[in-house]
A = this chain, B = another copy of it.
Amino acid sequence: MENKRYYGIDIGGTTVKIGLFEGETLVKKWSVPTDTSNGGANIIGDIIASLPGPAAGAALAVPGAVLPDGTVNRCVNLGWGVCHPAEEFTEKTGIPCRVLNDANAAALGEQRLGGGQGFESVLFVALGTGVGSGVVLDGHLHVGARGSAGELGHLIWDPTDAAAACTCGHHGCLEQYCSATGITRLAAQAGVPGLSCYDVVTRAAAGDKTLEAVVDKATDILGWGIAGACAVIDPEAVVLGGGVAQAGEYFRAKVQASFDKYAFHACLGTKMYLATLGSDAGLTGAALYAMDGRK
Protein backbone atom coordinates (compact mmCIF):
# COMPACT_ATOMS: atom_id res chain seq x y z
CA MET A 1 0.00 0.00 0.00
CA GLU A 2 1.22 3.43 -0.89
CA ASN A 3 1.98 5.65 2.11
CA LYS A 4 0.03 8.82 1.51
CA ARG A 5 1.27 12.24 2.59
CA TYR A 6 -0.30 14.05 5.55
CA TYR A 7 0.43 17.32 7.32
CA GLY A 8 0.40 17.48 11.11
CA ILE A 9 0.26 21.12 12.20
CA ASP A 10 0.70 22.18 15.84
CA ILE A 11 -0.24 25.85 16.27
CA GLY A 12 1.31 27.40 19.38
CA GLY A 13 1.23 30.98 20.62
CA THR A 14 4.76 31.72 19.31
CA THR A 15 5.51 29.10 16.67
CA VAL A 16 3.61 26.79 14.35
CA LYS A 17 5.32 23.39 14.12
CA ILE A 18 4.57 21.48 10.94
CA GLY A 19 5.40 17.88 10.07
CA LEU A 20 5.09 16.12 6.71
CA PHE A 21 4.28 12.44 7.21
CA GLU A 22 4.28 9.58 4.76
CA GLY A 23 2.04 7.12 6.55
CA GLU A 24 3.22 7.18 10.16
CA THR A 25 6.76 8.28 9.26
CA LEU A 26 7.77 11.89 9.86
CA VAL A 27 9.81 12.74 6.76
CA LYS A 28 10.27 16.48 7.22
CA LYS A 29 9.49 19.13 9.81
CA TRP A 30 9.75 22.88 9.96
CA SER A 31 8.13 25.83 11.70
CA VAL A 32 6.71 29.26 10.94
CA PRO A 33 6.22 32.14 13.39
CA THR A 34 2.70 32.56 14.74
CA ASP A 35 1.41 35.97 13.64
CA THR A 36 -1.12 36.87 16.30
CA SER A 37 -1.74 40.36 14.88
CA ASN A 38 -5.16 41.22 13.45
CA GLY A 39 -6.89 38.56 15.53
CA GLY A 40 -4.62 35.85 14.16
CA ALA A 41 -6.10 36.33 10.68
CA ASN A 42 -2.83 35.50 8.88
CA ILE A 43 -2.01 32.25 10.70
CA ILE A 44 -3.65 29.80 8.30
CA GLY A 45 -2.34 31.66 5.23
CA ASP A 46 1.22 31.67 6.63
CA ILE A 47 1.01 27.92 7.25
CA ILE A 48 -0.25 27.23 3.74
CA ALA A 49 2.52 29.37 2.18
CA SER A 50 5.09 27.11 3.82
CA LEU A 51 3.69 23.79 2.56
CA PRO A 52 5.75 21.95 -0.07
CA GLY A 53 2.81 20.52 -1.98
CA PRO A 54 -0.49 18.62 -1.93
CA ALA A 55 -1.41 15.93 0.58
CA ALA A 56 -4.16 13.44 1.31
CA GLY A 57 -5.09 15.21 4.53
CA ALA A 58 -4.07 17.56 7.31
CA ALA A 59 -5.03 18.41 10.86
CA LEU A 60 -4.54 21.50 13.00
CA ALA A 61 -3.77 21.14 16.71
CA VAL A 62 -4.85 24.32 18.49
CA PRO A 63 -4.42 25.66 22.04
CA GLY A 64 -8.10 25.96 22.88
CA ALA A 65 -11.48 24.31 22.97
CA VAL A 66 -12.64 22.46 19.86
CA LEU A 67 -16.25 21.37 19.53
CA PRO A 68 -16.99 17.99 17.93
CA ASP A 69 -18.18 19.71 14.72
CA GLY A 70 -14.79 21.39 14.25
CA THR A 71 -15.74 24.80 15.59
CA VAL A 72 -12.91 26.37 17.56
CA ASN A 73 -14.25 28.14 20.61
CA ARG A 74 -11.55 30.69 21.42
CA CYS A 75 -7.76 30.35 21.39
CA VAL A 76 -6.66 33.26 23.56
CA ASN A 77 -2.97 32.81 22.70
CA LEU A 78 -3.67 33.03 18.96
CA GLY A 79 -6.13 35.90 19.08
CA TRP A 80 -8.88 33.64 17.73
CA GLY A 81 -12.52 33.83 18.80
CA VAL A 82 -15.12 31.41 17.49
CA CYS A 83 -13.83 30.26 14.11
CA HIS A 84 -13.48 27.37 11.67
CA PRO A 85 -9.78 27.14 10.73
CA ALA A 86 -9.98 23.66 9.19
CA GLU A 87 -12.65 24.86 6.75
CA GLU A 88 -10.49 27.86 5.85
CA PHE A 89 -7.51 25.55 5.31
CA THR A 90 -9.50 23.23 3.02
CA GLU A 91 -11.04 26.10 1.04
CA LYS A 92 -7.61 27.54 0.29
CA THR A 93 -5.76 24.26 -0.40
CA GLY A 94 -8.30 21.62 -1.40
CA ILE A 95 -6.72 19.38 1.26
CA PRO A 96 -9.20 17.73 3.67
CA CYS A 97 -8.48 19.13 7.12
CA ARG A 98 -9.56 18.40 10.70
CA VAL A 99 -8.94 20.37 13.89
CA LEU A 100 -8.35 19.16 17.44
CA ASN A 101 -7.15 20.42 20.79
CA ASP A 102 -3.37 20.37 21.21
CA ALA A 103 -3.35 18.22 24.37
CA ASN A 104 -5.62 15.75 22.59
CA ALA A 105 -3.21 15.73 19.64
CA ALA A 106 -0.29 15.01 21.94
CA ALA A 107 -2.30 12.21 23.57
CA LEU A 108 -2.92 10.53 20.22
CA GLY A 109 0.72 10.98 19.15
CA GLU A 110 2.07 9.49 22.38
CA GLN A 111 -0.42 6.60 22.35
CA ARG A 112 0.31 5.58 18.78
CA LEU A 113 4.01 6.36 18.38
CA GLY A 114 5.37 7.52 21.75
CA GLY A 115 5.36 6.49 25.41
CA GLY A 116 2.05 4.65 25.05
CA GLN A 117 3.02 2.64 22.00
CA GLY A 118 1.50 -0.84 22.07
CA PHE A 119 -1.49 0.19 24.20
CA GLU A 120 -4.93 0.64 22.67
CA SER A 121 -6.26 2.84 25.46
CA VAL A 122 -4.19 5.55 27.12
CA LEU A 123 -4.78 8.41 29.51
CA PHE A 124 -2.28 11.16 28.63
CA VAL A 125 -1.45 13.90 31.12
CA ALA A 126 0.77 16.85 30.16
CA LEU A 127 2.09 19.07 32.91
CA GLY A 128 2.91 22.57 31.71
CA THR A 129 1.46 25.99 32.40
CA GLY A 130 -1.73 24.07 33.07
CA VAL A 131 -2.50 20.37 33.08
CA GLY A 132 -3.53 19.21 29.62
CA SER A 133 -4.93 15.77 29.13
CA GLY A 134 -6.35 13.49 26.48
CA VAL A 135 -8.11 10.15 26.34
CA VAL A 136 -7.47 7.53 23.67
CA LEU A 137 -9.83 4.53 23.74
CA ASP A 138 -9.74 1.55 21.39
CA GLY A 139 -7.00 3.29 19.43
CA HIS A 140 -8.98 6.44 18.74
CA LEU A 141 -9.15 9.84 20.36
CA HIS A 142 -12.20 10.32 22.57
CA VAL A 143 -13.03 14.03 22.38
CA GLY A 144 -16.36 13.93 24.22
CA ALA A 145 -19.82 15.27 23.46
CA ARG A 146 -18.73 18.91 23.93
CA GLY A 147 -15.08 18.43 23.01
CA SER A 148 -14.05 18.60 26.65
CA ALA A 149 -13.07 15.02 27.50
CA GLY A 150 -9.70 14.71 29.19
CA GLU A 151 -9.94 17.80 31.39
CA LEU A 152 -8.08 16.08 34.19
CA GLY A 153 -6.66 19.41 35.33
CA HIS A 154 -10.10 20.40 36.54
CA LEU A 155 -10.79 17.52 38.86
CA ILE A 156 -11.45 19.27 42.15
CA TRP A 157 -9.04 18.15 44.86
CA ASP A 158 -10.10 20.72 47.43
CA PRO A 159 -13.56 22.25 46.97
CA THR A 160 -13.28 24.69 49.85
CA ASP A 161 -13.25 28.42 49.14
CA ALA A 162 -9.89 28.71 50.89
CA ALA A 163 -8.25 26.55 48.20
CA ALA A 164 -6.30 28.14 45.35
CA ALA A 165 -8.50 29.85 42.75
CA CYS A 166 -8.29 28.30 39.27
CA THR A 167 -8.57 30.14 35.95
CA CYS A 168 -11.73 28.08 35.28
CA GLY A 169 -13.58 29.83 38.11
CA HIS A 170 -13.46 27.02 40.66
CA HIS A 171 -11.21 26.53 43.66
CA GLY A 172 -8.79 23.71 44.33
CA CYS A 173 -8.55 22.24 40.80
CA LEU A 174 -5.81 19.64 40.37
CA GLU A 175 -3.84 21.88 38.02
CA GLN A 176 -3.36 24.45 40.76
CA TYR A 177 -1.05 21.93 42.47
CA CYS A 178 0.34 19.70 39.71
CA SER A 179 1.08 21.96 36.74
CA ALA A 180 4.52 23.52 36.36
CA THR A 181 2.95 26.77 37.53
CA GLY A 182 1.35 25.01 40.47
CA ILE A 183 4.56 23.32 41.58
CA THR A 184 6.43 26.64 41.38
CA ARG A 185 3.72 28.20 43.53
CA LEU A 186 3.89 25.39 46.10
CA ALA A 187 7.67 25.88 46.29
CA ALA A 188 7.25 29.61 46.87
CA GLN A 189 4.73 28.87 49.64
CA ALA A 190 7.33 26.56 51.18
CA GLY A 191 9.80 29.46 51.27
CA VAL A 192 11.71 28.78 48.05
CA PRO A 193 10.51 31.33 45.49
CA GLY A 194 11.92 32.06 42.03
CA LEU A 195 12.66 28.52 40.89
CA SER A 196 11.39 26.97 37.68
CA CYS A 197 9.38 23.81 38.09
CA TYR A 198 12.20 21.81 36.52
CA ASP A 199 14.60 23.22 39.13
CA VAL A 200 12.19 22.36 41.94
CA VAL A 201 12.00 18.76 40.82
CA THR A 202 15.70 18.29 40.07
CA ARG A 203 16.75 19.86 43.40
CA ALA A 204 14.26 17.64 45.19
CA ALA A 205 15.74 14.63 43.40
CA ALA A 206 19.19 15.78 44.52
CA GLY A 207 18.13 15.66 48.14
CA ASP A 208 16.56 19.02 49.08
CA LYS A 209 14.04 17.97 51.75
CA THR A 210 11.91 21.13 51.58
CA LEU A 211 11.50 20.77 47.83
CA GLU A 212 10.97 17.02 48.07
CA ALA A 213 7.97 17.74 50.30
CA VAL A 214 6.67 20.07 47.58
CA VAL A 215 7.08 17.41 44.90
CA ASP A 216 5.50 14.82 47.21
CA LYS A 217 2.42 17.01 47.61
CA ALA A 218 2.11 17.65 43.86
CA THR A 219 2.57 14.00 42.91
CA ASP A 220 0.23 12.87 45.68
CA ILE A 221 -2.54 15.01 44.19
CA LEU A 222 -1.67 14.01 40.61
CA GLY A 223 -1.75 10.31 41.50
CA TRP A 224 -5.13 10.84 43.21
CA GLY A 225 -6.50 12.48 40.06
CA ILE A 226 -5.14 9.82 37.73
CA ALA A 227 -6.60 7.13 40.01
CA GLY A 228 -9.98 8.87 39.77
CA ALA A 229 -9.81 9.10 35.98
CA CYS A 230 -8.79 5.43 35.77
CA ALA A 231 -11.77 4.43 37.93
CA VAL A 232 -13.94 6.00 35.22
CA ILE A 233 -12.23 4.85 31.99
CA ASP A 234 -9.78 2.09 33.08
CA PRO A 235 -7.15 2.65 30.37
CA GLU A 236 -4.37 0.16 29.70
CA ALA A 237 -1.67 2.73 30.49
CA VAL A 238 -1.00 6.32 31.55
CA VAL A 239 1.56 8.55 29.82
CA LEU A 240 3.02 11.60 31.57
CA GLY A 241 4.20 14.43 29.31
CA GLY A 242 5.05 18.11 29.35
CA GLY A 243 7.92 19.94 30.99
CA VAL A 244 7.48 18.53 34.48
CA ALA A 245 7.62 14.97 33.19
CA GLN A 246 11.00 15.74 31.60
CA ALA A 247 12.30 15.58 35.15
CA GLY A 248 12.10 11.88 34.43
CA GLU A 249 12.01 8.71 36.48
CA TYR A 250 12.17 10.44 39.88
CA PHE A 251 8.91 12.23 39.13
CA ARG A 252 7.28 9.26 37.35
CA ALA A 253 7.98 6.90 40.26
CA LYS A 254 6.37 9.31 42.73
CA VAL A 255 3.24 9.60 40.59
CA GLN A 256 3.12 5.81 40.27
CA ALA A 257 3.41 5.40 44.05
CA SER A 258 0.59 7.86 44.65
CA PHE A 259 -1.56 6.19 41.98
CA ASP A 260 -0.96 2.80 43.62
CA LYS A 261 -2.02 4.29 46.95
CA TYR A 262 -5.32 5.73 45.67
CA ALA A 263 -6.33 3.43 42.79
CA PHE A 264 -9.33 1.11 42.92
CA HIS A 265 -7.89 -2.39 43.37
CA ALA A 266 -8.94 -3.62 39.93
CA CYS A 267 -6.94 -0.77 38.34
CA LEU A 268 -3.74 -1.55 40.21
CA GLY A 269 -1.94 -3.04 37.21
CA THR A 270 -2.02 0.32 35.41
CA LYS A 271 1.46 1.72 34.83
CA MET A 272 2.68 5.29 34.36
CA TYR A 273 5.03 5.85 31.40
CA LEU A 274 6.99 8.92 30.39
CA ALA A 275 6.21 10.62 27.09
CA THR A 276 8.90 10.17 24.44
CA LEU A 277 7.96 12.47 21.54
CA GLY A 278 8.81 15.75 23.27
CA SER A 279 7.75 18.79 21.24
CA ASP A 280 6.86 16.57 18.25
CA ALA A 281 3.91 15.00 20.10
CA GLY A 282 1.38 17.57 18.88
CA LEU A 283 2.25 17.57 15.18
CA THR A 284 2.54 13.76 15.24
CA GLY A 285 -0.89 13.35 16.82
CA ALA A 286 -2.37 15.88 14.39
CA ALA A 287 -1.06 13.91 11.41
CA LEU A 288 -2.46 10.67 12.88
CA TYR A 289 -5.81 12.38 13.44
CA ALA A 290 -5.81 13.44 9.78
CA MET A 291 -5.14 9.82 8.77
CA ASP A 292 -7.91 8.52 11.06
CA GLY A 293 -10.33 10.90 9.39
CA ARG A 294 -9.47 9.45 5.99
CA LYS A 295 -10.21 5.84 6.98
Knowing A65-B266, A156-B228, A264-B154, say if A121 contacts B145 (CB, 8 Å).
Answer: yes
Tell me how many residues of A have a C-beta within 8 Å of chain B.
Answer: 40
Chain A 232-269 interface residues, beta-carbon cutoff 8 Å to B: 232-236, 262, 264-267, 269
Cβ contact of A144, chosen from B142, B144, B154, B235, cutoff 8 A: B235
Q: Does A169 contact B (CB under 8 A)?
A: yes
**CB-CB contacts of A117-153 with B at 8 A, as 1s and 0s?**
0001100000000000001010000111111111110
Q: Which residue of B lies closest to A156 (CB)?
A: B262
Q: Does A217 contact B (CB under 8 A)?
A: no
User: In the bound complex, how far is the Cα of B142 from the Cα of A142, in angstroms?
Assistant: 12
Q: Does A1 contact B (CB under 8 A)?
A: no
Give chain B residues whose Cβ lies under 8 Å from the Cβ of A266. 65, 146-148, 151
Asked if residues B264 and A159 are in contact (CB atoms below 8 Å), the reply is no
Give chain B residues whose Cβ lies under 8 Å from the Cβ of A148. 231, 234, 264, 266-267
Asked if residues B155 and A233 are in contact (CB atoms below 8 Å), the reply is no
**CB-CB contacts of A94-135 with B at 8 A, as 1s and 0s?**
000000000000000000000000001100000000000001
Q: Does A168 contact B (CB under 8 A)?
A: yes
Chain A 185-238 interface residues, beta-carbon cutoff 8 Å to B: 224, 227-229, 231-236
Asked if residues A151 and B231 are in contact (CB atoms below 8 Å), the reply is yes
Asked if residues A149 and B264 are in contact (CB atoms below 8 Å), the reply is no
Give me 10 other A-B pairs in contact (C-beta within 8 A), A146-B266, A229-B232 excluded: A144-B235, A145-B234, A145-B270, A146-B234, A147-B266, A148-B234, A149-B234, A150-B232, A152-B231, A156-B228
